[in-house]
Structure 1
Amino acid sequence: MTRRPVAVLLAVVLAAAGCTTTEPGGDEAAGPAPTDRSLVGAQAPAVDPTALPTVEREQGPMRLADGLPPPTNRWFSGLVFGDEPQPVFPLPLAVGLTSTGFAYGLPDVRADGTLIAGGYAPQVQVDLGESVTGVVSRYDAATVDVDLVAEDDQVRGTVHLTRGSPVVRYTARTAHGLGLDRSFDDAGAGLPDGVATAEVDGRTHALVGVDGLDAAGALDGSGSTLELGEGESVAWLAAPDDPAGGSAALPELVRAAGEAVEASTVSYATGTDDVTTTVGYETTSGGPAVAVRFPHQRDAADDATCGLGSYATVLGTVDVCRATELSWRSTAREPVVGLDVSDLGEPARDELVEQVRADADRVLAETRPADTYFGGKALARDAELWTLARDLGMDDVAADLRASLLTDLRLWTDPDGCEERPERCFTWEPTLGTVVGQATAFGSEEGNDHHFHYGYFLYAAGLLAAEDAELAEEVAPVVDLLAADVAAAADVPAGDGAPMPALRTLDVVMGHSWASGPSPFGDGNNQESASEAVAAWHGLALWADARAAAGLPDEGLTSQARWMLSLEAASARAYWTDFDRSDPVADGLQADVTSLVWDGKRERATWFSAEPSAALGIVVLPVTGVSTYLGEDPARVRDNLAEALGTTDLWADDATWDVMFGDQLLMYAGLMGPEEATAALEVARELPEDRIDDGSTRSWLLAWLHGRAD
């Protein structure tokens, strides 16, 4: 959680071979029929945001060209929102705008205690000699253009950033000079003609002409003033580490840096075992760009020349490549309906029936919360309880739970609800182009955490409508809007308001989502609960399957949801729970979990609690049938629990688990194997009621552990 001028369509290529699989411990979830698809520039889903009541909110200044969807929840959101632009982290570089130009630097990445820090520290500053304001004028999945607009409202030049590239490019829109805060000299032997270099903190920085421009010739005698004609471009490249590859490869990298990256594309393919994600770099001549390969992309080399050096980033050591595209694989994940209780023995079944009845009596006597976060969690919790009652043959309890759930779900999904009441309904906010639930929570009115919140609604709707076509059709107008708000495949027009941006929260290059809407932070955007992001795409996949079963238009959503689910689960492990502790970047880190990930730092911390158990629990919850992805390294699960609980003897004392998120951590412990699941089951029976998360029940805790115990 975060406590926090041309319209552009995200080019998405959908190339999917669908399949149906079963996740261990759950029912078979209907998947898309096998098919081959290739859709360039995917169409927006057929939703109408203006069907909701419009409530416009003051969102503050936006440095954004007319017609562009406001880029909330992006790695570069801090450039657009807030009184002053924030530094951003294309990575491995960090870039900041100044009152007269821009600056960039290669962060000095250090680990100490529970923090890996790599903040913005400018090393090369570029000065236009007059006041300018940075305005984002174009963006797509991996590239961003920022126009530098002078006081006469004329664009002097454009800064071009590429996600995952050590290159910053600048194009002059009018003939003018640039002042540099350090001298760049003719590089001399070893590098191509026309290149100038400077030594900055012991590292070579190259100034490269783009599309044949002689960058060295454009410098004055001091090497600190650069004269550019209209339309001319230069680029800066910070040389990589690793003398064995980096310095030898520098000429090759410099030549690639002279290739202008103009846009990016995204494609994916889903299969039985893996999903493949491809990011393509469109350059002026079609040649390769300079890009890095992040830890979650280790196998990305199909159409790339890698091993050209490395950089330290807060995410780990990254390899340098020349590539027209980078493709990488993630383990395929399928949505899971409920928990498998079909093989329980009689004692376990009797225990579970008794607990389900007690939990049902409790939740049916309560009023579910009215805000979109806790209200969504309660719907998801009770939908899970309903699946248990149904699968245990408790028809009376199941009927009562379903009736209660449908009453609330219909309340939330009434398109006109906010014209009649101040809460438990959704509105359209036309300034940001987003759906906002009433009442708000955790800054949701400015775009924060929408995938966390709406993922619970998608999950509940997907479970309840799985075999109820009439219900799916009834709630689809609003539930589809929630899905589009966080995961539309392409921009969604919205009358006179701002369009919904494509893939609002998902950073495709990094393989994970961002939580903050405006990102008003000096360390970039952040995401805390990676597991709730995974849960969001799990909910999206269940809802997509329910829609498909009801005969509603699929529009590729079943494949897209599985891709997003698989991608996010892989990155959640790579950077939150199971990162490589042997990476030199982690030298000095005294934490096995980094629960709060930014572009400029990673830390074992939360927005809401200093308890060690909170740092692990927030990246585990909500435990569902798909959460088995968290247990693929049982030894790491044990280490993470030892850190969170302050002991290596996990079962010495029941009081060990009397901590925040104790129930979620017990379910996490069940992933270590049958013996540990049995031990966890004994503790779970006596766990204090206030240690059961409000998004779960003791019934779900017991059912999860019974399914894994001896």
Structure 2
Amino acid sequence: MAGNIFTPVSSESPPIPSRSDHPVRRDGVFTRSAPMDDPRQIPLGSPAEYPLQTNKFYANMLLGDRSNSVWTHPYSVSWAKGRGNAKSWGISISHIERHQLALGPLKPSGAVQYFINPVGIQSMILSATELDPSSVLTTDSLTAFSVNVNLSQAGFPPLITFPLLQGMGFVTALYKSCRPLIQSSVLFRGMEPAGSLRNITSKFRAFLEDGSIWMIYLTPYGGHRESLSMVNNTTLQGRDGFGGMIQVAKLPKGASEEIYDTCAGTYAISCDLSAEVSDDNCQYHLKWTKSGLQNPLLMFALPHHASSFDRNTVMAVRNLHLQTTTKGLAVAVMSDCWTMRERLPIDIGFAPWHPAKGSITNVSPAATRTIRAVGEKEIAQDFLSQCCLDSMYFSGKGLAKFAMMLFVLRDLVECPDLVQSGLEKLKQVFAVFISNKQPNPLAYDQVWKGVISIAGMKDGPGADFGNSWYNDHHFHYGYHVYAAAMIGYLDPSWLQDLRHTSWVNMLVRDFASPVCDEYFPFSRSFDWYHGHSWAKGLFESADGKDQESTSEDAFASYALKMWGKVTGDRNLEARGNLMLAIQARSFPTYFLMESKNNIHPPQFIGNKVTGILFENKGDHATYFGSNLEYIQGIHMIPLNPTSALIRSVQFVEEEWNTYFSNGRCNQVDGGWRGILYANLALVNPKKAFEFFSQPNFDMSWIDGGASRTWYLAYCAALAGL
């Protein structure tokens, strides 16, 4: 096995102007001046100046009034802020069962429009008598997997700290010399002491009016035997001056308490990611740093984790399951470290690719003639007008379109004269971006520490799909990175100019930095716990983070892989391959729903794609329209060599038969028709080739981010024509 593949891409300062006027301020974010294992020494340090995560699960704790929920899976937590029956100022905890879902109206397909989990159910609340309407919430130690949330009286050190991590087995609160309140707006039916664990931890059972049972564990820092008194049906109260931890966990019906008892008193405070690669085999690890008592650590795994566990991790899985909101059943794992194994798609390159055939680099003489004739016309188009736009997203799509076209003309149909002229035009347009002279230049944001378009600074948060607020960076910048990889492939001398590589590496580091460095956070977009990226940036969201395009998510990973390949950064190439392998596992599990899908409600899977998948709901829709071709097609674009990796034949056939077969595709207008037919190539490439090669072809059927040249080559290659 090679060493850890998470190595820096670069440490250079971004080669663009900086600005420090981002409208979203990083208020209430601090460093920590004492270790987390003893909250009696909890005073916070100065305001944090390190790069902050913008697209992670806890963003709602940083934005607006900080009262929207945060999903750790299987639980969600939120700042109660005096709401609910308990009128508490602590952190409320919710866990939703499948029967609590709300379903949307039926669509013509017979599937429901959406499913959504209720929010605001305060099953348990961890608070203190000292908290009141003047209390404040702060955060510290923000990483890709974890954050500390602190509650305090205004102007004083934290009274309670909550280390929040994805998959945490308990919701843990660390108290500093105050009187604990354990509350419920669902209301307590009763509470009973359940003994002592190892003469350290006091155990209680709480029975709620909804029939659920919650376990409560109090582990003091002294040798006290703790007690709780039931004040009323909303409040349990501990002793004054309590210092230590309180943990709560929901007991599934019929489950044993033994697993919780074994692990109580221990909690995770952070997580490290590492991976090693040997040929096409990779094992990657999530390793938690734990604190508290030296008991086994309890964490919950999602279905895509469990399906890739190595043998040792499988042995740590326990028979304890809790439903998540949008990721199926989570399973308990009693281990400080998980190891997952993936087979890497190392044979995917720039050429069309098929799982059984690999990369396909030849097409027939007849197909070559057809492709050349079309390519001659398309390569003569005005590159600048299609690529130098006021949108980083649409500019990137244009650049990638011409890059794919150039590959076809050089490697598949051998038109060197056309390639040379087209490559020079592509370089000239790319130079506009490297010199930062596009209509909306980029700037390095010193507040959140990332690369943003100035479009939003002029025209508001929604400009260019929210790029300035850190939306969609993997979508936008992935196209640019891919185009740069193609230029470097076609002309390796282009890579010798450090202006070129520095600019592209800047984009790579913005959305996919393998480390947290002085300028960028680790892995802004890709969530290594969920196995896919989140597109939403610095926007409050009642339903959490979301993403609506799996295909563009995978394309961004593919761009990283290919940039690593052409620049000789083998670790970057390996990371891109690993992300693709994980996406090939997570997308069919959570987004692209075959009829056998058991993750989402059965009433919803008939939609075939989730549309926009949030942390708390699935909505068969898009942000830009409700046409079926939009909803399905946004999970197809751009058709590229990785499409056959992430979109199974079974899925594509089911989707096509549900929505587009029997001539229905021909009722779709504009570029979406071309997208749908290019996608058909995954199961019927001959029919797709016939569509794109028809003599009366209407060029309005080609999307602005695609070319007929690439579509013809792609279909011909997969069809063996």
TM-score class, shorter-chain normalisation, is 0.7 to 0.9
Q: Which deviates the most, 58-67 or 517-526? A: 58-67
Deviations 1:495-537 (A, max 9, x none): xxxx421111121111111111114101111111121111111
Counterpart check, 1:635 vs 2:624:
no
Deviations 1:194-250 (A, max 9, x none): 211112322211111247889982423547112364641111101135x2xxx22x2
Corresponding residue for 2:642? 626
Corresponding residue for 1:205? 214
Matched residue SS, 2:138:
strand
RMSD (Å), alpha carbons: 2.7
- Scaled by the length of structure 1, what TM-score is found? 0.85
CA distance in 2, matches of 1:305, 1:423: 54
Asked whether the 8 Å contact 2:383–2:429 carries over to 1, the reply is: no
Corresponding residue for 1:455? 478
- Structure-2 change in CA distance of 1:584 and 1:369 (3 Å): closer
Matched residue SS, 1:95:
strand
Corresponding residue for 2:37? none
Give the residue type in structure 2 aligned to 1:103: S
CA distance in 1, matches of 2:159, 2:75: 23
Q: 1:490, CA displacement in angstroms?
A: 1.4
- Structure-2 change in CA distance of 1:688 and 1:61 (3 Å): same
Deviations 1:44-95 (A, max 9, x none): 4433335421133333343311224222011111111234442110011110
Q: Which deviates the most, 316-325 or 380-389? A: 316-325
Counterpart check, 1:102 vs 2:111:
no
CA distance in 1, matches of 2:689, 2:429: 32
Structure 1 residues 312-327: aligned runs within 5 Å: 312-313=323-324, 314-327=326-339
Counterpart check, 1:57 vs 2:76:
no
CA distance in 2, matches of 1:562, 1:320: 28
- Structure-2 change in CA distance of 1:612 and 1:467 (3 Å): closer
Q: How many residues align?
A: 646
Matched residue SS, 2:485:
helix
Asked whether the 8 Å contact 1:288–1:322 carries over to 2, the reply is: yes
Give the alignment partner of residue 676 of structure 2, picking from 646, 665, 669. Answer: 665
- Segments of 5+ residues of structure 2 without an aligned counterpart are 31-46, 82-88, 104-111, 353-358, 457-463
Q: 1:271, CA displacement in angstroms?
A: 4.0
Q: Which deviates the most, 399-408 or 582-591? A: 582-591
Corresponding residue for 1:185? 191
Asked whether the 8 Å contact 1:670–1:680 carries over to 2, the reply is: yes
Asked whether the 8 Å contact 1:331–1:570 carries over to 2, the reply is: no
Corresponding residue for 1:12? none
Corresponding residue for 1:233? 245
Deviations 1:263-286 (A, max 9, x none): 212122334444333212222355
Corresponding residue for 1:295? 303
Q: Which has the higher contact order (CA 8 A, sep 6+)?
A: 1
Q: Which deviates the most, 347-356 or 565-574? A: 565-574
CA distance in 2, matches of 1:473, 1:341: 29
Give the residue type in structure 2 aligned to 1:135: T
Asked whether the 8 Å contact 1:372–1:438 carries over to 2, the reply is: no
Give the residue type in structure 2 aligned to 1:480: N
Corresponding residue for 1:397? 418
Structure 1 residues 185-584: aligned runs within 5 Å: 185-188=191-194, 194-200=202-208, 201-210=210-219, 217-220=226-229, 222=231, 224-227=236-239, 229=241, 231-241=243-253, 243=254, 247-248=255-256, 250-284=257-291, 285=293, 287-299=295-307, 300=309, 302-303=312-313, 304-313=315-324, 314-334=326-346, 335-339=348-352, 342-364=361-383, 366-370=385-389, 371-391=391-411, 392-414=413-435, 417=436, 421=437, 423=439, 425-439=441-455, 441-466=464-489, 468-474=491-497, 475-493=500-518, 499-548=519-568, 554=569, 556-578=571-593, 581-583=596-598
CA distance in 2, matches of 1:688, 1:257: 66
Asked whether the 8 Å contact 1:218–1:228 carries over to 2, the reply is: no
Give the residue type in structure 1 aligned to 2:113: T
CA distance in 2, matches of 1:83, 1:351: 59
- Scaled by the length of structure 2, what TM-score is found? 0.84
Matched residue SS, 1:615:
helix
Asked whether the 8 Å contact 2:327–2:599 carries over to 1, the reply is: no
Corresponding residue for 2:10? 46
Give the residue type in structure 1 aligned to 2:226: G
- Structure-2 change in CA distance of 1:307 and 1:664 (3 Å): farther
- Structure-2 change in CA distance of 1:127 and 1:607 (3 Å): same
Q: Which deviates the most, 619-628 or 340-349? A: 340-349
- Structure-2 change in CA distance of 1:216 and 1:528 (3 Å): farther
Asked whether the 8 Å contact 1:175–1:230 carries over to 2, the reply is: yes
Q: 1:293, CA displacement in angstroms?
A: 2.2
Deviations 1:607-657 (A, max 9, x none): 11101121221111111112211343x222111223343xxxx25466255
Matched residue SS, 1:73:
coil
Give the residue type in structure 2 aligned to 1:46: S
Give the alignment partner of residue 135 of structure 1, picking from 120, 133, 138. Answer: 138
Q: Which deviates the most, 563-572 or 186-195? A: 186-195
Corresponding residue for 2:164? 161
Q: 1:127, CA displacement in angstroms?
A: 3.4
Structure 1 residues 676-691: aligned runs within 5 Å: 676-686=684-694, 688-691=698-701
Q: 1:479, CA displacement in angstroms?
A: 0.7
Deviations 1:121-180 (A, max 9, x none): 221123333232222211334322111132124211101222013421000134333352
Corresponding residue for 2:3? 37
CA distance in 2, matches of 1:321, 1:360: 55
Corresponding residue for 1:704? 714
Give the alignment partner of residue 705 of structure 2, picking from 683, 692, 695. Answer: 695
Asked whether the 8 Å contact 1:206–1:236 carries over to 2, the reply is: yes
CA distance in 1, matches of 2:663, 2:58: 47
CA distance in 1, matches of 2:508, 2:599: 39
Q: 1:294, CA displacement in angstroms?
A: 1.2
Corresponding residue for 2:56? 74
CA distance in 2, matches of 1:191, 1:49: 53
Give the residue type in structure 1 aligned to 2:494: L
CA distance in 2, matches of 1:513, 1:561: 13
Corresponding residue for 2:124? 124
